[in-house]
Every structure is written in structure tokens, then in C-alpha cells.
């Protein structure tokens, strides 16, 4: 009799143990599935944070941009944009919440002061459970989080020079002559090979990031030592041209004092006089040349007075020159050039914008009081093997420019210039330059 009772007890104990083991196994399966789902959601959160951060400098809707990026990765917001909807009791299976915050609500950047360059993205989804239902748990909400910022990836310093030419071709930051370059508060990023081509060049920057080889054999000083970084993308690739298949316009040949209005021109040649460009966009389908006897400005004063002071006292609302059709830009080294980009509108911060399919080289030169305030955007089309060279320097110092951003394939600092590249963006919306080059930090 005792043996029969003991046998029953063993059976009961075994059955109870099996239930526990099955429950643990089931719980492990559910947890594994939810962990996998979180990894999938993390891609959407990363994309949402980056997309949101990239909208900060262009004054776009970071919430809409972040939610759109999440949707492209398979997680479209169900309509509230708040994670609390997904975590609420009774939330339906399949509900998706994409919340985008600026500044972040949690983490080390939650105290970011305005304007804040950090964007947090939370992607939540209500998932069904399987074995956990045994314990009365029918759903589980999984949340993935990411934070992105416009700060670049070499020493945490914003970029102001980007050379996008391919590695292994010698394209990158190169020079001729004996220039000195100072970019004290911003970074130089070089996707190609960093080389001084045996020439002495002194470069002082906030940070220097390179992808290819580092060759400085000219005896100059490069400080800090370049660090290896991942390739950077074109931070201005979002720009759209003012026209497609641009054509038409008259040729301007200027030799005396002239005020020029925005419009389309087949070419502009300035051989003398004082030439004041009024605020707006200039489409040039041919060459844009300035001779050394000329003074060129974007000033509130027709005679360009006040532009040569440091800082300039008569800057107008700003100009953008869009180059297309195979023409190039050449500013002579003895010309007085004082040009500033717009502070609002579609081309905020953009001074020169060359059609990527236009492979023409550019030379931006000028006297030691000359300056170029804005983006010098001369990208090539890599799909067409188009690598654009920008020559920058001569006797130019550029110290009066509050900011200068250079984006091109091959950059040559040349001559005896002592070029300063500042990064004071206080005149722009939000106090930041409209570049899209966000990186994840959390």
C-alpha cells in the first residue's frame, strides 16, 4: 500500500515539474522572440533618430522626418506619436508608436540646452505572446531607443571641410605653394588620401578625420594628427537645383560700376569696376570669371563700402550662385571679393552650388581682405567618374567670413595664403549650418 501511494506521489511531482519546465521553456521562447523583434525595431529607431537630427539645421519637421524613416524600415506610427499609447493597458496587438523628441527625454543628453542638436527616437510595438499566455500575459510591448546628433565623428567636432573623392586616387586635401590653414573650431574630413604632395603646409584644425592614407612629406605641420574615420557622406546632397536642364539668359560683360539682379545668365565676366550682387539666386550656365581689377560684393551699399572691414558692416541678405552647363568659376587673386550666402530660404547658407554633373574645376581667390561666407559646394558625380577640383587660397585670408563650409572632391590650398575657416553660424536659423550628416551617439 505504501508503495502504491509513493508511486502516485512521484507521478504528481513529475507532472508538476513538467509544467514548470514547459513554462520556463515557453518563457524562454517568448523572450527570444521579443529580443529578435527589438533588434528589428532598433534599425527603425536608428533611422528615425538620424532622420530627425538631419532636419534640425534645415528647420524641417524632425518628428515627421523621424516617423517617415521609421515607416520606411517597416514601423509606421499608428497615429499618436507617443510611446504611452503602446504601453497603456489593453493596447491592441500590432499597435506601433514612433515618438521623436528634441531634446531627448532621458539619457545623458536630456539636459541639452536650446537649440538642442540631439534627437531621440523611440519605436514601440505591441506584440502577442505565446507560452506566456499560460501565466495570463497575452501581450508584451517592446521599445527600441536611439539618439542621434549633428556632431561628426572625429573628436566630436562639427565638420567644415569635406573632400569626397575616392580613396586610392590621390584625391583629397592637397596643396601647392606654402599655404597655412586654420580651422580652429571645426573638423576636416577627407574620404580620399591625405597628402601634401611634398609641399610644406601648416594646418591647424579642431579635428582631422581621414579614410585613406596619411602622407605629409613637405615638412609642414598638421595638427592634430589625423585619425582614421568611416567615410562621410555628402552633407549637402539633399539640395535640389533651382531648375532642370537650365538654359537661356544673357551674357554679362562688366567693366564698370554695376548692380546685378538675380536671374539666369549664360555667362558673367567681370573685368573691372565695383559690382554689387543683389540678394537672391543666380543661375549661370557658362563661365563666371572675375578679373583682378574688379571689386565684387553682396552688400547693402552699391559701392561695396563696409565689406572690407572685419567684421563687415554692410552685408545684404545674401546670394547663391548655381553653376551648371559646363562652366566654371574663376576669381582672380588680386580681385576684391566679398560674398555672403543667404540666411533664409531654400539655399540658406549656400554661396556656390555646382551641378554634380558639371565637372569643371573652380578657383576661388582674392586679396587678403576678401572672404567667402557660406558653403562652397562643388560635388562631382561619382557614377559618371566626375571628380571636381576646388582651388582655394592665393593671397586670400578669409578671416572676415563668420563661417565657411567646403564640400568638394579634391581641395587644393595654394599660394601664400593664410586661410581661416571659421564656424560661427549664429546668423543662421538655430545657429547651425544646414548640413545633413547626423551620427548615432546612443
Q: What is the pLDDT of residue 278?
A: 98
Q: What is the pLDDT of residue 184?
A: 87
pLDDT tens, N- to C-terminus, the chain (442 residues): 455 555 556 666 655 555 555 556 556 666 778 888 889 999 999 999 988 988 877 667 889 999 999 999 999 999 999 999 999 999 999 999 999 999 999 998 898 877 787 899 999 999 998 777 766 778 889 999 999 886 555 555 678 999 988 877 666 777 777 788 999 888 888 888 877 766 777 888 888 888 888 777 666 788 888 888 777 788 898 899 999 888 889 999 999 999 999 999 999 999 999 999 999 999 999 999 999 889 999 999 999 999 999 999 999 999 999 999 888 999 988 999 999 999 999 999 999 999 999 999 999 999 999 999 999 999 988 777 788 999 998 889 999 999 999 999 989 888 888 899 999 998 988 787 888 777 787 8
Q: What is the pLDDT of residue 218?
A: 66
74 C-beta neighbours (distance < 10 Å), count: 13
Q: Look at residue 13 and give its three-state secondary structure.
A: helix
Q: What is the pLDDT of residue 280?
A: 98
Cβ atoms of residues 361 and 331 within 8 Å: no
**Cβ partners under 8 Å of residue 428, min gap 6:** 57, 343, 348, 349, 434
Q: Look at residue 284 and give its three-state secondary structure.
A: strand
Burial 238-263 (b: 16+ CB within 10 A, else e): ebeebeeebeebeebebeeeeebeee
pTM over 0.85: no
**Cβ partners under 8 Å of residue 177, min gap 6:** 199, 393, 413, 414, 415, 416, 417
Give alpha helix (H) positions in 56-162.
62-72, 83-87
CA dist 125 and 133 (Å) reads 18
Q: What is the pLDDT of residue 1?
A: 44
User: Which three cell numbers, joined as nine digits, stand for 348?
Assistant: 540658406
CA dist 123 and 110 (Å) reads 18
Place of cell 506601433: 96
User: Which three cell numbers, joined as nine digits, stand for 189?
Assistant: 574630413
For the chain, the structural domain boundaries read 2-149, 159-440
Place of cell 531634446: 103
CA dist 347 and 350 (Å) reads 5
Q: What is the pLDDT of residue 21?
A: 59
CA dist 329 and 284 (Å) reads 10
Instruction: State the burial class of residue 364 (Cβ atoms within 10 Å of its Cβ: 0-12, 13-18, 19+).
Output: buried
Q: What is the pLDDT of residue 326?
A: 87
Q: What is the pLDDT of residue 206?
A: 86
User: Which three cell numbers, joined as nine digits, stand for 332?
Assistant: 582672380
User: Which three cell numbers, joined as nine digits, stand for 385?
Assistant: 567618374
Opening angle at CA 251, ends 248 and 256, nearest 5: 150
Report which of 411, 409, 406 is spatially closest to residue 384, judged by C-alpha positions.
409
DSSP 379-405: ---GGGT---EEEEEET---TT-SBEE
Amino acid at each position: 500500500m505504501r508503495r502504491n501511494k509513493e508511486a502516485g506521489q512521484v507521478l504528481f511531482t513529475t507532472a508538476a515539474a513538467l509544467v514548470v519546465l514547459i513554462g520556463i521553456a515557453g518563457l524562454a521562447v517568448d523572450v527570444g522572440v521579443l529580443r529578435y523583434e527589438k533588434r528589428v525595431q532598433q534599425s527603425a529607431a536608428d533611422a528615425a533618430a538620424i532622420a530627425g537630427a538631419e532636419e534640425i539645421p534645415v528647420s524641417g519637421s524632425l518628428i515627421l522626418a523621424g516617423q517617415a524613416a521609421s515607416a520606411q524600415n517597416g514601423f509606421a506610427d499608428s497615429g499618436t506619436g507617443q510611446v504611452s499609447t503602446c504601453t497603456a493597458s489593453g493596447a491592441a496587438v500590432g499597435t506601433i508608436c514612433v515618438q521623436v523628441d528634441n531634446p531627448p527625454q532621458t539619457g545623458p543628453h536630456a539636459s541639452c540646452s536650446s537649440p538642442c542638436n540631439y534627437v531621440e527616437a523611440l519605436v514601440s510595438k505591441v506584440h502577442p505572446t505565446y507560452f506566456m499566455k499560460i501565466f495570463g500575459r497575452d501581450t508584451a510591448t517592446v521599445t527600441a531607443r536611439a539618439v542621434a546628433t549633428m556632431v561628426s565623428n572625429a573628436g566630436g567636432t562639427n565638420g567644415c571641410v569635406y573632400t569626397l573623392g575616392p580613396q586610392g586616387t590621390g584625391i583629397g586635401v592637397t596643396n601647392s605653394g606654402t599655404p597655412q590653414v586654420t580651422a580652429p573650431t571645426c573638423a576636416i574630413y577627407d574620404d580620399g588620401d591625405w597628402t601634401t604632395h611634398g609641399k610644406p603646409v601648416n594646418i591647424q584644425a579642431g579635428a582631422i578625420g581621414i579614410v585613406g592614407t596619411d602622407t605629409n612629406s613637405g615638412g609642414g605641420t598638421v595638427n592634430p594628427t589625423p585619425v582614421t574615420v568611416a567615410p562621410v557622406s555628402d552633407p549637402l546632397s539633399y539640395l535640389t537645383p533651382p531648375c532642370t536642364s537650365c538654359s537661356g539668359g544673357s551674357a554679362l560683360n562688366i567693366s564698370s560700376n554695376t548692380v546685378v539682379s538675380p536671374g539666369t545668365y549664360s555667362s558673367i565676366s567681370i573685368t573691372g569696376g565695383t559690382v554689387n550682387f543683389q540678394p537672391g539666386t543666380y543661375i549661370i550656365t557658362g563661365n563666371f570669371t572675375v578679373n583682378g581689377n574688379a571689386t565684387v560684393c553682396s552688400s547693402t551699399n552699391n559701392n561695396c563700402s563696409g565689406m572690407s572691414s572685419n567684421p563687415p558692416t554692410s552685408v545684404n541678405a545674401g546670394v547663391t550662385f548655381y553653376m551648371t552647363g559646363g562652366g566654371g568659376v574663376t576669381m582672380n587673386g588680386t580681385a576684391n571679393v566679398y560674398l555672403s550666402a543667404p540666411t533664409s530660404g531654400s539655399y540658406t547658407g549656400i554661396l556656390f552650388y555646382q551641378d554634380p554633373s558639371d565637372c569643371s574645376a573652380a578657383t576661388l581667390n582674392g586679396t587678403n581682405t576678401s572672404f567667402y561666407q557660406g558653403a562652397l559646394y562643388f560635388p562631382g558625380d561619382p557614377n559618371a567618374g566626375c571628380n571636381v577640383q576646388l582651388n582655394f587660397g592665393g593671397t586670400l585670408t578669409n578671416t572676415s567670413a563668420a563661417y565657411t563650409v567646403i564640400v568638394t572632391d579634391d581641395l587644393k590650398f595654394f599660394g601664400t595664403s593664410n586661410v581661416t575657416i571659421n564656424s560661427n553660424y549664429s546668423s543662421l536659423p538655430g545657429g547651425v549650418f544646414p548640413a545633413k550628416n547626423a551620427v548615432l551617439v546612443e
